Structure 1
């Protein structure tokens, strides 16, 4: 089995979730079902989100970057979804500030310090509102996958 960092089976355009818990559960289950994450991953992501929220105020389109510690990961990768209706996440800088999130990048990184490097790269991507608008506009898995694959092509974690 090939474990690409951006895997077409982990890209979900135009999804609708009732709330943050449902979205996080769905993405964590996808990472586990595709053997990127260990069975402990979902609980670790959900717990971490309550302690260290991952909502990021990036402009008109806000994103969330949930993740769990590397011990819960088998292979590095990202599960990503765009949302038809924004859902509420707490701001990572101010947990009392609630943000409407339109895009979620769930990170699964299998080495202790890999998150730092990836988060730095991801910050550059999510600061670009035009690119976020483009990602949000894709209706098919393939279109979203091709863009993400190209965007992350130079990344080594």
Structure 2
């Protein structure tokens, strides 16, 4: 499955004003839930997994988080995206003691755990592109972000 098939404009929030990662989780969860991608248990799954396995990534200025949880909480696969007006604090995936100021969140909802590795590899490739991250931070809406992903 191609990475672009996971992104849907109704699951993308640009220039979000959030004060915490929990607020970002809540907003993206609502989008996923309202559009039939996840079960009500998804939010609790994301919060619990983030405590044990933090998802903040230091990426040369435009730091990213990729929160996700178990397939049992997901109805159909998708990636919800939030670009933030101001960074929020996540714990570093590589060093859980360290804080990471994150300004782009890719919330992953997969209903098959074996597809997670392949999709994560594609996503990591995408987020290692500094120009792509800059471009999506400047994007005005979900359609524009999807177009940017298709160009990569």
TM-score when scaled to structure 1? 0.90
Cα distance in 2 for partners of 1:143, 1:47 equals: 32
Q: Give the aligned partner of residue 41 of structure 1.
A: 42
Is 2:104 aligned against 1:95? no
- The reply on whether 1:56 has 2:57 as its aligned counterpart is yes
Q: What is the rounded CA distance, in whole Å, between the counterparts of 1:30 and 1:97 in structure 2?
A: 29
Stretches of structure 2 lacking an aligned partner (at least 5 in a row): none
Question: Would you say the 8 A contact 1:70–1:108 is kept in 2?
Answer: yes
Long gaps (5+) in structure 1? 153-157
Q: Name segments (4+ residues, structure 1) moved above 6 Å.
A: none
CA distance, structure 2, for counterparts of residue 142 and residue 109 of structure 1: 22
**Whole-Å separation in 2 of the counterparts to 1:125 and 1:141:** 17
Where 2:131 maps in the other structure, the secondary structure is helix
For the Cα contact (< 8 Å) 2:132–2:148, is it kept in 1? Answer: no
Q: Contact conserved, 2:79 with 2:108, CA < 8 A, in 1?
A: yes
For residues 6 and 126 of structure 2, what CA distance do their matches in structure 1 show? Answer: 16
Report what 1:155 is aligned to: none
SS where residue 12 of structure 1 aligns?
strand
Q: Distance in 2 between matches of 1:94 and 1:100?
A: 14
1:76 corresponds in structure 2 to: 77
Q: How many residues align?
A: 148
Q: Distance in 2 between the 1:73 and 1:142 partners?
A: 24
Look up the match of 2:17. Answer: 16
How far the C-alpha of 1:117 sits from its partner, in A, is 0.8
Shift in Å at residue 135 of structure 1?
Answer: 0.7
Per the normalisation by structure 2, the TM-score is: 0.92
- Contact kept in structure 2, 1:11 and 1:145, CA below 8 Å: no
Which structure shows the higher helix fraction?
Answer: 2
The corresponding residue for 1:85 is 86
Counterpart CA distance in 2 for 1:109 and 1:141 is 20
1:112 corresponds in structure 2 to 113
Between the aligned partners of 2:146 and 2:96, the Cα distance in structure 1 is: 31
Deviation at 1:30, TM superposition (A): 1.2
